[in-house]
Structure 1
Amino acid sequence: MLIIDGEARILHLNAGAERLLNRQVGGLSCKDGRLSTAHSINKDRLKALVSTATGIPAVGGAMILGGEQNRQVFVTPLPAASHFARDWQTPLALVLVMETDKKFPTLQLLSTLYDFSPAELRVAAALLAGKSPEQHAQDSGVMINTVRSQLKRLFEKTNTHRQSELVALLSRAPPLQN
């Protein structure tokens, strides 16, 4: 996992990303403190992904890097409300690098990014399944006011204002580019 700005400057990376960049396998590297790729076609794709993830409107995306091991690179906007974004005053993107044979559910990824509670994640999953808040409350055996409170927190955490905006955000699985 890496956090980058609109110029692909690496502002934070975890130990796994540091190992990946130090080994320079899988097509990713760090040049002058910026995330880069070995092949020019991938450089343009990565640059475009970073630009759209830190632009207005901010939209995430993904690509596949070839090499010894194929890897998926997900670049998604980092919400200003995220605890990762507190130190910087510029649009940021979260970059996740995963091997293509490993599956990570999109909803779980968004849950991690937006810091959803388990109850909020259940509400989000219900909305994605086409259920109304009232249906989810009835199915879960909770009060509708509880679900509405959780929905309100989902709006706050994702910087959305309507249920349709929230569902659109959550259902936007990043398209993979070959």
Structure 2
Amino acid sequence: MGFLAMNSEISSLRAEEELILANFTRRLMEIAAVSEASGAAASPTAMLNAMHLPAIALDKNGFAVDANAAAQAVFDENIKIKDRRLYIRDFDSRNLLKQAIEQLSGPPRPNALAVEPVVVPRLDKLPVIVRIWPFEGPSHPPAQEVRALLTMNALGPRPGPPAAIIAKTFRLTPSEAKLACIIARGAPPDIAARELKISRETARNQLKSVFAKTNTHRQSELVALLLQVG
């Protein structure tokens, strides 16, 4: 998918979904600010890391002052911290991000996205969506130097819930739980059979048993249920 096509796709996100995400992320940042103001050992990026949301804190000059563990897991040759700045390999995306960061030198805008999300293409991977959140933390260091948070959404398959927890929750056998864990990623039974190195017939039989034990009847129902498991 080309750069312009990806940006068009992102722009077509429903307004309600964008508003929900914005309110959710801003609320987490507010909680982080209150925590720091009260002397708690918390930072905006740490709070977002607890929600498995990759985040980078920037100062007014656009330098990265913090990046949480979830962000570190996203970094590769396409997007990473380089010389204290977020470096993007793709030229167009890099320029869009640069323009957005340049706005940080102006007055804080805590209630809105600074710019549209920046879509970062990656070689042999789905893109990363970078959102920029102007941030005004408490009035004491180090949080006062944070002028914005960047959150990253790396598109692609998500790992399924832990097999051990699935087995315990629904009283599945270890082999059924492993199958369910793969199915939770949205993989069809044939793919699961290949990963588990079992026959398709065995995979289908195990899936029938999983359906019965979880009181579901279709794969979409099963996935929706499994994704509720921590």
Give TM-score scaled by structure 2 length: 0.37
Give TM-score scaled by structure 1 length: 0.46
Question: Larger strand proportion, structure 1 or 2?
Answer: 1
Rg (Cα) greater in structure: 2
